[in-house]
């Protein structure tokens, strides 16, 4: 490492992108942070909400049915659905929940499946293993998990069943979900100019103050510089990859593009394990056409705890076509987009699956959902009609993440709410509660549901949800105080007294609680006077 007069430290010089230290730093970041990566650092809502999970569930449910119709013996074997770089597991929970609901609604019981959550870091696996929302599915054998590092070719073993995924086990096609992960594993980068292809070489530097133990502390302070070097022909020596680069040389005028080589290595392994029968669904920010790939500057890397880039979905689509499969790339959207890839079979041969892909990916998609949701997220405080918030909750499939944002405002609107909307909301509160997926350092939705019922004077339901919240919120004054109020309104005064007393231990300064205790004691003893009535 070289110390320059500007006190800049050179971290590396002229490195092929896939060999850059950035990837190591990114891995170290995810490994160190584990589930904490999602506490206000790495954005995740966009790919971890009930809407996107339901879209995927409908496609996969239809795919398994379609496949069994064509191959009746497929019922004898399990369909494995593997999520790469799973992260917090919230998507996994909503997916399996939706899939189970679809199976129940359609009476499908004879198609076996197992959802495999995977990540390269053990810290995430430990989090899933202990997660109360996942537990029922894990215990039923519907969810298993595996350590899988997309950058290394190692056997994949399902930890619960101690079962190695092999071509003999993966008789049915393997479904793979890759949300917000193709941009996280290593890429190469190329430049095309005047009919020639160059590899892009990366140099990284940072301020000396940003270095500790020979490594940068804050990735956001890394400066990236680029050099070019003419790329050798048949760069990868791989007949599935080299034609893609070769075609870009002919099709692109002047641009730089990324090539997701780490993801290609992982896909190669998964194709081998699944007898080249893969269905892949991926959502990320990315480019889907040659036109979008042209006239771009050097790759822009956005740092946010970790870093992310635009995925070259077009190249991934070409790869799948080269594997004898096909690719459905969502037409341009400004934000994220969803792509579906198949290897070893053609999606159009599965007509109902094809129809659902059209409906859920090309028409109203996770991307469109997120764009519309963004409008509400940014302006809900201006909404004065509670039925609009209620409709947005339905649109989101009763997503706690959204309710937690709007709950304060919504409670303030309750006094003017109409009866129908209140009934609609009350009826759907159990759905909101079922969608609770605990994440570190976030508010508890069960408590907020309690507040909703409390505000509309449905004390029985309020108490029910407050009690449910106990195991998440713990010894918190406000929770006990609210529970005691509900108990009193339900004429459970002995319980209310005990709960107020407990609340007072949590906040001995609370005068109101002390007054309530006196009032409860008098009520129970039958010595209450007119002046004591609250
Ligand atoms: C940006 S997060 C995406 C998480 C989740 N899929 C989502 O949509 O929010 C990337 C995830 O990939 C994991 N990851 C990073 N490098 C990986 C690798 N080489 N193999 C497998 N997982 C990896 C990280 O631990 C993290 O959970």
Mean pLDDT of the region 23-46:
82
Q: Which of 294-308, 422-436, 501-515 is predicted with the least confidence, judged by mean pLDDT?
A: 294-308
- CB of 180 shorter than 6 A to ligand 1: yes
Q: Which residues of 271-282 are buried (b: 16+ CB within 10 A; e: fewer)?
A: bebbbbbbbbbb
Of 396, 411, 422, 417, the residue nearest 447 (C-alpha): 411
> Quick check: 507 pLDDT over 80?
yes
pLDDT tens digits, one per residue of 144-177: 999 999 999 999 999 999 999 999 999 999 999 9
Distance, in Å, from the CA atom of 59 to the CA atom of 208, rounded to the nearest integer, reads 50
- CB of 399 shorter than 6 A to ligand 1: no
If you measure from the C-alpha of residue 135 to the centroid of ligand 1, how many angstroms do you get, rounded to a whole number? 22
**80 exposure class (CB count in 10 Å sphere: 0-12, 13-18, 19+):** buried
- CB of 48 shorter than 6 A to ligand 1: yes
- CB of 338 shorter than 6 A to ligand 1: no
What was the pLDDT predicted at 5?
A: 55
> Quick check: 430 pLDDT over 70?
yes
3-state SS, 18-70, equals: HHCHHHHHHHHHHHHHHHHHHCCCCCCHHHCCHHHHHHHHHHHHHHHHHHHHH
The label of the residue with tokens 């190669």 reads 268
What was the pLDDT predicted at 206?
A: 92
**233 exposure class (CB count in 10 Å sphere: 0-12, 13-18, 19+):** exposed
- Closest-CA residue, ligand 1 atom 23, reads 85
pLDDT tens digits, one per residue of 344-374: 999 999 999 999 999 999 999 999 999 999 9
3-state SS, 293-345, equals: HCCCCCCCCEEECEEECCEEHHHHHHHHHHCCCEEEECCCCCCCEEEEEEECC
C-alpha dist (Å) from residue 254 to 148, 189, 196:
37, 14, 9
Token pair of 515 as six digits: 């007054």
pLDDT more than 90, % of the chain: 84
Beta bridge partners of 207: 8
* 470, 477 Cβ separation under 8 angstroms: no
- CB of 44 shorter than 6 A to ligand 1: yes
Token pair of 300 as six digits: 């822009």
* 79, 40 Cβ separation under 8 angstroms: no
If you measure from the C-alpha of residue 72 to the centroid of ligand 1, how many angstroms do you get, rounded to a whole number? 35
Mean pLDDT of the region 470-498:
96
* 216, 11 Cβ separation under 8 angstroms: yes
- Closest-CA residue, ligand 1 atom 11, reads 85
What was the pLDDT predicted at 42?
A: 66
Average predicted confidence (pLDDT) for the chain: 94
* 93, 399 Cβ separation under 8 angstroms: no
Q: Output the CA angle 7-11-17, nearest 5 degrees.
A: 145
What was the pLDDT predicted at 6?
A: 61
What was the pLDDT predicted at 332?
A: 80
If you measure from the C-alpha of residue 209 to the centroid of ligand 1, how many angstroms do you get, rounded to a whole number? 29
- Closest-CA residue, ligand 1 atom 26, reads 87
Mean pLDDT of the region 334-345:
94
pLDDT tens digits, one per residue of 225-243: 999 999 999 999 999 999 9
pLDDT tens digits, one per residue of 269-315: 999 999 999 999 999 999 999 999 999 998 877 777 778 889 999 99
* 431, 398 Cβ separation under 8 angstroms: yes
Ramachandran angles phi, psi of 315, nearest 5°: -65, -40
Residues whose CB falls within 8 Å of the CB of residue 303, separated by 6 or more in sequence, listed in order: 219, 220, 222
What was the pLDDT predicted at 479?
A: 97
Token pair of 273 as six digits: 């394990």
- CB of 156 shorter than 6 A to ligand 1: no
């Amino acid at each position: 490492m070289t110390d320059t007069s500007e006190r800049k430290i050179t971290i590396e010089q002229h490195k092929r992108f896939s060999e850059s230290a950035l990837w190591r730093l990114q891995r170290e970041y995810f490994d160190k942070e584990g589930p904490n990566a999602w506490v206000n650092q790495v954005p995740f809502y966009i790919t971890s909400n009930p809407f996107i999970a339901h879209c995927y569930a409908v496609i996969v449910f239809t795919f398994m049915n379609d496949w069994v119709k064509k191959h009746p013996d497929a019922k004898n074997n399990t369909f494995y659905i593997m999520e790469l770089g799973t992260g917090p597991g919230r998507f996994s929970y909503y997916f399996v929940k939706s899939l189970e609901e679809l199976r129940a609604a359609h009476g499908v019981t004879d198609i076996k499946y197992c959802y495999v959550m995977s990540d390269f870091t053990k810290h995430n696996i430990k989090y899933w293993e202990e997660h109360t929302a996942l537990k029922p599915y894990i215990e039923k054998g519907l969810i298993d998990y595996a350590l899988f590092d997309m950058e290394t070719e190692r056997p994949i073993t399902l930890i619960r069943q101690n079962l190695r995924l092999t071509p003999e086990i993966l008789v049915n096609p393997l479904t793979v979900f890759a949300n917000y992960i193709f941009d996280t594993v290593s890429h190469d980068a190329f430049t095309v100019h005047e009919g020639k292809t160059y590899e892009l070489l990366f140099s990284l530097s940072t301020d000396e103050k940003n270095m500790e133990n020979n490594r940068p502390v804050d990735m956001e302070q890394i400066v990236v510089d680029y050099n070019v070097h003419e790329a050798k022909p048949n760069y990868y020596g791989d007949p599935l990859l080299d034609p893609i680069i070769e075609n870009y040389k002919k099709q692109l005028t002047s641009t730089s593009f990324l090539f997701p080589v780490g993801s290609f290595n992982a896909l190669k392994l998964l194709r081998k394990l699944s007898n080249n029968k893969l269905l892949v669904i991926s959502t990320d920010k990315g480019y889907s056409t040659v036109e979008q790939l042209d006239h771009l500057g050097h790759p822009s890397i956005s740092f946010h705890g970790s870093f992310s880039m635009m995925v070259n979905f077009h190249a991934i689509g070409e790869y799948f076509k080269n594997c004898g499969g096909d690719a459905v790339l969502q037409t341009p959207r400004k934000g994220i987009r969803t792509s579906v890839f198949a290897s070893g079979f053609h999606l159009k041969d599965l007509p109902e699956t094809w129809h659902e892909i059209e409906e859920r990916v090309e028409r109203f998609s996770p991307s469109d959902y997120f764009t519309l949701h963004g409008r509400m997220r940014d302006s809900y405080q201006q909404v004065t009609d509670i039925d609009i918030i209620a409709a947005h909750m339905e649109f989101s499939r009763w997503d706690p993440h959204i309710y937690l944002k709007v709950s304060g405002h919504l409670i303030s609107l309750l006094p003017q709410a109409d009866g129908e909307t209140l009934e609609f909301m009350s009826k759907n509160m159990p759905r909101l509660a079922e969608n609770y997926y605990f994440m570190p350092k976030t508010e508890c939705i069960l408590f907020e549901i309690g507040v909703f019922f409390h505000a509309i004077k449905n004390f029985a339901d309020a108490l029910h949800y407050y009690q449910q919240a106990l195991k998440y919120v713990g010894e918190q004054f406000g929770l006990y105080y609210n529970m005691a109020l509900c108990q009193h309104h339900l004429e459970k005064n002995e319980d209310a007294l005990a709960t107020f007393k407990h609340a007072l231990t949590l906040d001995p300064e609370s005068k109101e609680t002390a007054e309530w205790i006196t009032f409860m004691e008098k009520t129970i003893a039958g010595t209450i006077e007119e002046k004591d009535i609250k």
